[in-house]
Structure 1
Amino acid sequence: MQTPESLNLPSFYANPDRSVAVLNYNEHFITSIFDLVNSPELAGFVKLFLDEQRDRTPDAADPKTTFDLVTPDVYLATIKAVLTDRVDAFDRFKPAEILASIEDLYSYYRTYLRVATMTVTQNDVVTSEFMTIDQRFNDLVIRLYRTIEEKLQGHPNHVYRQVSAGSSACVLLRRLAWNMPAGYEGLKDIRFISRLMLRPPMMLHTKSNKRKGTFTATKVNPMKNFTGTEDDWFCYPAKIGESLAYLYFHRDYLASGLALANLFQLADSTEVAAHKPDLVLLFGTPGVESDTDHENGHYFYDAANDIYVGQVPYNDQTTYFGYMKKMCLTLHNLHMIAQKHLPIHGSMVKITFANGQTKTVVFFGDSGAGKSESIEALQEVADDQIVSMETIFDDMGSFTLKGQDLYAQGTETGAFVRLDDLSSEVAFNNMDRGIYMNPEQKNARVIIPANTWPRVVAHHHIDMWVYANNYDDAVGIHRFDDQQTAEETFVAGKRKALGTTDEVGMSTTFFANPFGPVQEQAATQPIIDAVFDRLFADGVYVGEIYTHLGNNKSQDKLNESARELLAVLLDL
């Protein structure tokens, strides 16, 4: 797992290959700038920085006269000389050169995802003050930087920027005993995240920016191949819909692990202690030899313990957050199918109109079909006819049929959205809460909070269910006259791929959902039949909206479809 260039101290881990750093406050909490400048943690990180500078510096540069090419000892000795105002501080290097390098070192450190950790047992003081403790370290780092900077430039700064200098996030960890079946003992010592503090907006960069393939079943419980330890693994206990999930991940996947906080409700310690989960995910662990695909993820149903276990391998491709999210949803959806609930790949909004009416609409379709875009277009054309739109779920939910009643629930408390799909209003209103993934690249994403868990899992009535059709050239919306045609359209799952996965051109996916229904088609089909029977018996509007995204991405045509949708909703 660990690359040769990584720094691995008890109190500080840094992996340049993944731009991840972990600070362990339990092992060493630095209390002054002089402790910091004399610390092994800083010395180790300076070495990483200088190694990278050497790789970038032309061979002609002289290591004796170029400050970025000196040894870590000389580098730190020079910094200490500047701090203590020694007369020989600038004998070898000019202040401007030292300052330029210090700026580069400071910027290099801040390119890392820097996560501070504290492990607690029953220490209520630490529990209540963990953010204050972390803020002290952040203040210390920025004070050291500014002290050196102002001494080198010879005057105080005119402008101060209060950036996240020390850490990007801080997590409070606990060791919790849960109802662990035989075979899961390897997870015993791995600590759970019990509280989490983020400093958004967070700009994260991963080595991959697109998801490939689908997750497949394995015949062997991935626990048999798990070798993680408490030093390099964490667990995010999540409530995915009403499923309890223990999501274990390697520390090099902290970008994905922290992003979970904006997507799934963090389970309380009381909901974990002594409780067996419905789902277990091992993210960053190898599969077994019998698996045919070692580059993607797998799932296993542990029938003896009624646990769905997911496994995603450690490689560059799986650094894309879509792997974390979609494996979580696949496990949840498999659990839903087993309980006779119908997983829905789509977005659900509850719309309040100016005339006092409320309508709940579900937009259905695979990735890139135009679900989010249709909601944005509806908001754009509504003017003052819509008072509010509440997101019940952004990507995945479920329909449940109990007797004669049909209701919908969501899974996520947040949204994982392409930046290109967001209106400027939504983007800017949520900027200060967002976790941004590769914002400068194609398929850039943001994870933003959307709703509370109690609202997401409440039982919601369904007024309209529309298929997002991005391939036909028609405009507007269309209501299916007969149940068979409607069901065939939804089950076929046609779309024109837009590059958010490795698919191109026209494709079909069973029930537009490669995260559970595709894997369990035989078990899903009877549930689909029963749901469509109920919808048509109740006279619910079942139709399709033409989004045009697979053809010319014309905003005018999508807005025209949204206007027709608005008129139909007001007339329902």
Structure 2
Amino acid sequence: MSVPAPIDLRTFYANPDRNVAVLNYSARFLSSTFDLINSDEFAAFVKLFLDEQRAFIPDDADPETTYDRVDPETYITTLKDVLTDQPRAFDHFSRKEILVSIEDLYSYYRSYLRVATMTTQQNHVVASEFMTIDQRFNDVVLRLYRTVEEKLQGHANHVYRQTNAATSACVLLQQVQWPVPAGYEALTDIRFMNRLMLRPPMMLHTKSNKRKGRFTASHENPLKNFTGTTQDWLCYPAKIGESLAYIYFHRDYMASGLALANLFQLADRKEVLNQKPDLILLFGSPSAQGDADPENGHYFYDAQNQIYVGQVPYNDQTTYFGYMKKMCLTLHNLHQIAQKRLPIHGSMVKITFANGKTKTVVFFGDSGAGKSESIEALQNVADEQIVNIETIFDDMGSFTLDPEKGVYAQGTETGAFVRLDDLSSEVAFNNMDRGIYMNPELSNARVIIPANTWDRVVAQHHIDMWVYANNYDDAVGVHRFTDRDEAEATFVAGKRRALGTTDEVGMSTTFFANPFGPVQEEAQTRPIIDAVFTELFKEQVYIGEIYTHLGNDKSQDKLNASARDLLTELMNN
């Protein structure tokens, strides 16, 4: 079955192939049910709905489905007759079939990710009231739906549910002046996200639910192929660690663009005004001719302007949020390596014990190694011995070797992109009202939840313990390396058993367990690794491994036993 063409009006965009709808309040705001039902936007969406409905109606369908076979004009005229209590509304259709169709229309609209946008230029009244404006439109849509529903039912509803009837989110946009280098002029007028309002829990559905392959270098700047416009592209200005990133994305990737708000700190207007970024990402832009694996992402270092530029092509596979997140982190990590900092693929937590002692622990390993699971197990076995576990970074951080301070760690993300299966029910339910859920009904389902403040994430943290998440050996507990070379060799090998979070299967090795920067620039990374391990052993930091068993029997008992051993080490050292 072919998918109907998108609606592309100045005021309203809807793409059924991506289940994305974008409303432009600045072009037109529908302030009443009368405005809504008489609008071109409503007529266009009814036509889209009917086109999809007809594709599923068999030729010998029950007559009660006939209302879904009419033209949009007849469909809307009938609704107007229902609203104004005209008896002719039921000359050709029964109340029941109209009601069933209206319920389907409402559900179909709500199946889209619906985002409202407003554009403003330092209008503080609009900036403070954009959420109120969006709520007004939600009220208009809900009022229209309920009025039609109750008139067809012949009675008022007994239970009212205040759902997000019109929008899932609202975004305040601004044009921002920044020093656009030669060759980057196509980005000049693309609007920046300035404020976001999300309505969690948000349940988003994408065509892909797994990442494949690796990002590779491009032989030319992706800006040469960029053809985006101010109509169909937006920019999320992010602070990724201490890097400033301008993340440009096609509106069909709105699910990923909005999810960034729960993962990376949104840079304020004053932080981007007249500021050249360290990183630029073009998400949904064509690959350069001759690039390896043109269906995957690429990066380019613009040495003249000192900007890392990333590009991810428009296709079904890249709708998975992992592509946007990991390309952002790859660009950041490449920037870190150039600054002689060491990107760390792992989780870092600061643990406060009941006896007042605090320990900062870094869990290291590639996807599926058991980093998050180890933290959960530690929390489960600690009983009342642990007062608090603060997440400094959930997926990616960096170590800096300072001549005076030694080695310190910093994070990148203010949120966490976590597999639902990895979360305890307590953590999952406690964060439900803030979460953005990706394909919750599928394997490798994910949730993006806020985790910490940007100031805490980028603070310079001392390291007490660094452990490799070993998911392939059958041992139980933790093991401390006494030999520096053996420790470095284990971490550099990046060995693990793949668990289906990517397209890899079975045993695999990844240089330094980090395919997002170190793999691409191994020669530059190795001297930094050597220096960091030398310094950490000099500082007598605990460097070891924890046996998670996730690649073998996935035994919770064995993982808990390893966590108890880890707890003992932390409390006694």
So what's the TM-score if we normalise by structure 1? 0.99
Shift in Å, 1:292:
2.2
Q: Find the counterpart in structure 2 of residue 122 from structure 1.
A: 122
C-alpha separation in 1, matches of 2:101 and 2:135: 26
- Whole-Å Cα distance in 1 between the matches of residues 422 and 69 of structure 2? 45
**Matched residue, 1:427:** 428
Q: Find the residue that maps to 1:66 and give its secondary structure.
A: helix
1:375-524 equivalent positions in 2, closer than 5 A: 375-404=375-404, 405-524=406-525
- Aligned partner of residue 568 in structure 2, secondary structure: helix
Alignment of 1:361-380 (within 5 A): 361-380=361-380
Contact in 2 for aligned 1:491/1:510 (Cα 8 Å): yes
The match for 2:25 is 25
* Paired position in structure 2 for 1:88: 88
- Structure 1 position 171, deviation (Å): 0.2
Q: How big is the shift at 1:123?
A: 1.7
1:335 is the counterpart of 2:335:
yes
Aligned length: 571
* Aligned partners of 2:4 and 2:16 also within 8 Å: no
Cα contact 1:203–1:439 (8 A) shared by 2:
yes
Structure 1 CA distance for aligned equivalents of residues 180 and 309 of structure 2: 13
Moved more, 237-246 or 34-43: 34-43
Match of 1:207 in 2: 207
Q: CA deviation at 1:115?
A: 0.3
Per mean C-alpha deviation after superposition, the further-off stretch among 288-297 and 204-213 is: 288-297
Equivalent runs, 1:149-298 vs 2, <5 Å: 149-298=149-298
Do the aligned residues in 2 keep the contact of 1:12 with 1:22 (CA within 8 Å)?
yes
Question: 3-state DSSP class of the match of 1:14?
Answer: strand
Classify the secondary structure of the residue corresponding to 1:165.
Answer: coil
Q: CA deviation at 1:69?
A: 1.0
Equivalent in the alignment of 1:344: 344
| Letter matched to residue 567 of structure 1 | T
Q: What is the letter of the counterpart of residue 126 of structure 1? A: V
Equivalent pair of 1:64/1:70 in contact (CA under 8 Å) = no
CA distance in 2, matches of 1:256, 1:214: 19
Pair 523,65 (structure 1): closer, same or farther in 2 beyond 3 Å? closer
Shift of residue 283, structure 1, vs aligned partner: 0.1
| SS in structure 2 at match of 1:378 | helix
| Code of the aligned partner of 1:454 | D
What is the CA distance between 1:61 and its match in structure 2?
3.3
| CA apart distance, 1:62 | 7.8
Amino acid at match of 2:43: A
Q: Distance in 1 between matches of 2:133 and 2:566?
A: 52
8 Å Cα contact 1:65-1:92 kept in structure 2: no
Q: Deviations over 1:354-378 (max 9, x none)?
A: 0000000000000000000000000
Task: Please say if residues 216 and 292 of structure 2, whose CA atoms lie closer than 8 Å, have aligned partners that are also in contact.
Answer: no
Task: Give, in whole Å, the separation in 1 of the partners of 2:377 and 2:427.
Answer: 12
Q: 1:322 & 1:292 partners in 2: Cα distance?
A: 20
Q: For 2:59 and 2:52, how far apart are their aligned partners in 1?
A: 14
Verify the 8 A CA contact 2:65 2:97 in the aligned structure 1: no
In structure 1, how many angstroms separate the alpha carbons of the residues matched to 2:464 and 2:247?
Answer: 34
Residue 565 (str. 1) matches residue 566 (str. 2):
yes
Q: Where in structure 2 are there 5+ consecutive unaligned residues?
A: none
Dislocated runs of 4+, deviation >6 Å:
62-65
Q: C-alpha separation between the residues in 2 aligned to 1:217 and 1:3?
A: 34
1:288-309 deviations in Å (ceiling 9; x for gaps): 1121211100000000000000
Deviations 1:489-528 (A, max 9, x none): 0000000000000000000000000000000000000000
Residue 89 of structure 1: SS of its match in structure 2? Answer: helix
Question: CA offsets, 1:45-94, max 9 Å, x none?
Answer: 01111111101111223889711111111110110000000121111111
Deviates more, 1:96-105 or 1:64-73: 64-73
Please list the CA deviations of residues 268-315 of structure 1 after superposition, one character each: whole Å capped at 9, or x if unmatched: 001111000000000000011121211100000000000000000000
* Residue aligning to 1:553: 554
User: Contact 1:476–1:546 at 8 Å: present in 2 too?
Assistant: yes
CA offsets per residue over residues 379-402 of structure 1, 9 Å max, x none? 000000000000000000000001
Separation in 1, partners of 2:3, 2:511: 40
Alpha-carbon displacement from aligned partner over 1:428-487 (angstroms, at most 9, x marks no partner):
000000000000000000000000000000000000000000000000000001000000
Amino acid at match of 2:255: A
* CA deviations over 1:247-279 (Å, ceiling 9, x no partner): 000000000000000000000001111000000
Equivalent in the alignment of 1:538: 539
User: Residue 16 of structure 1 corresponds to which residue in structure 2?
Assistant: 16
Does the Cα contact within 8 Å between 1:174 and 1:191 map onto a contact in 2? yes
TM-score by length of structure 2 reads 0.99
Given that 1:281 and 1:311 are in contact with CA atoms closer than 8 Å, whether structure 2 keeps it comes out as yes
Whether the aligned pair in 1 keeps the contact of 2:348 and 2:363 (CA below 8 Å) is yes
Shift of residue 125, structure 1, vs aligned partner: 1.0
Task: State whether residues 237 and 246 of structure 2, in contact with CA within 8 Å, keep that contact through their aligned partners in structure 1.
Answer: yes
SS of the residue corresponding to residue 53 of structure 1 reads helix
Equivalent position SS for 2:87: coil
- Distance (Å, rounded) in 1 between the aligned partners of 2:100 and 2:139: 22
Write the distance in 2 (CA, Å) between the matches of 1:5 and 1:554. 49
8 Å contact kept, 2:348–2:360: yes
Larger deviation, residues 2-11 vs 23-32: 2-11
In percent, how many aligned pairs have the same letter?
77
**2: distance between equivalents of 1:535 and 1:62?**
74
CA contact (8 A) 1:63 1:69 kept: no
SS in 1 for 2:361: strand
* Distance in 2 between residues matched to 1:143 and 1:406, nearest whole Å: 59
Listed as ranges, the gaps of 5+ residues in structure 1 are none
Contact 1:63 1:70 in 2 (8 A): no
Query: What does residue 75 of structure 1 align with?
Result: 75
User: C-alpha separation between the residues in 1 aligned to 2:195 and 2:54?
Assistant: 40
| 1:346 and 1:395 in contact (8 A); partners too | yes
Q: 2:565 is matched by which residue type in structure 1?
A: E
Contact in 2 for aligned 1:279/1:307 (Cα 8 Å)? yes
Distance 2:493 2:512 in 1: 6
Determine helix, strand or coil for the equivalent of 2:90.
coil
Q: Give the structure 2 partner of residue 48 of structure 1.
A: 48
Q: 2:170 and 2:133 mapped to 1: Cα distance? A: 10
Match of 1:146 in 2: 146
The 3-state SS of whatever aligns with 1:322 is helix
Distance, in Å, in 2 between the alignment partners of 1:533 and 1:87 is 85
Separation in 2 of the partners of 1:276 and 1:336? 17
